[in-house]
Structure 1
């Protein structure tokens, strides 16, 4: 079963050799031989599907081993780290984090630890959602408009500026499609205009 080392740095200025040496020492203590090194320079905030890590995880099979120096090398978001660890547990991929001292395999201890991390991630997600809703509710209560300011859309602005002409076209029996073609806007923009500005006179 292949043993793969994954190394990531955020900028070219950071040195990846330190991570390599850390993983080499760890592998020696475990009697492991690194079969493949995967390195990349990318922000940890970039989703794993947009990094080398995504395809790597999809190709790994049951019994394979993935080694990183720190869990944070997988991602900078707790939610995605949990997703990656869950993927590894489902596929029976062994995951080692050398500095953190974590070993995620099929043991009961690993499953308990992964569950604990997952619970923390879920709580964090729920708290963020709750804080966002509370902040929006407070702004509405203070009379602050939420969303796009009226008229900020360029296409919508065109209809606003030509409101009288549109009213005349409607009185002449022109269709919505005709008006949209005349001003080069979509029906969605037109109906947004009607909704926000009421009956056109």
Structure 2
């Protein structure tokens, strides 16, 4: 069993030592053994796959633990946090967040919690969508030519890939996802197949 203490700070004035002490106290109380530390001084808005956290998620396996002071240390976006948790849950990795004593595992409580997070992620997605539409409207009014270049081979779903994967993993139906992103179900099906995205929700 591997135990990772994950610490991320975005500014120099945030103290890692107190967070370390809290994580060690939790691990020692449960006799987990040694804790391996992963420390990053980087903005939580950066894609988690491009941070050291992405490597941590990749090598953790069944029965391992990831302990962090609070959810915002994983990422600033609810959508990114949901995707990280879904990926770790798929691998049967325990995630423990000290703030609020949240233990994300295969329990009913965790499933309820992830469902709530999915709802918050949808709200966040709606807000982002609204801001995007306002921005496009302003650009159009300014005479900027909009639309996808011909022959680009890209799909409008590409930009929502992390969100769609997270929704699938938390049990959202393809009908719901297609309706949400305003595409035909066949379009979504073909896009998932093309991008080799597993359509099986996590139990």
Does TM-score exceed 0.5, indicating one fold?
yes
For 2:91, the equivalent position in structure 1 comes to 91
Cα distance, 1:138–1:15 mapped onto 2, change above 3 Å: closer
Q: 2:143 aligns with which of 122, 142, 145?
A: 145
List gaps (5 residues or longer) in structure 2. Answer: 147-203
Pairwise CA distance, 1:39: 1.2
| TM-score, normalising length: structure 1 | 0.65
Contact 1:6 1:66 in 2 (8 A): yes
Larger RCO, structure (CA 8 Å, separation 6 or more)? 2
Contact 2:66 2:96 in 1 (8 A): yes
Looking at structure 2, the residues matched to 108 and 51 of structure 1 have their Cα atoms a distance apart, in angstroms, of: 30
Contact 1:71 1:100 in 2 (8 A): no
Contact 2:23 2:68 in 1 (8 A): yes
For 1:127, the equivalent position in structure 2 comes to 127
For 2:109, the equivalent position in structure 1 comes to 109
Aligned-pair RMSD on alpha carbons?
A: 2.1
Whichever of the two has the greater Rg, that structure is 1
**Aligned residue-pair number:** 146
For 1:3, the equivalent position in structure 2 comes to 3
Match of 2:43, SS? coil
Looking at structure 2, the residues matched to 136 and 25 of structure 1 have their Cα atoms a distance apart, in angstroms, of: 50
Q: Kindly provide the CA deviation profile for residues 107-160 of structure 1, in whole angstroms up to 9, marking residues without a partner as x.
A: 1110110121012102321232134325544775xx542459xxxxxxxxxxxx
For 1:153, the equivalent position in structure 2 comes to none
Contact 1:5 1:34 in 2 (8 A): no
Looking at structure 1, the residues matched to 56 and 77 of structure 2 have their Cα atoms a distance apart, in angstroms, of: 19
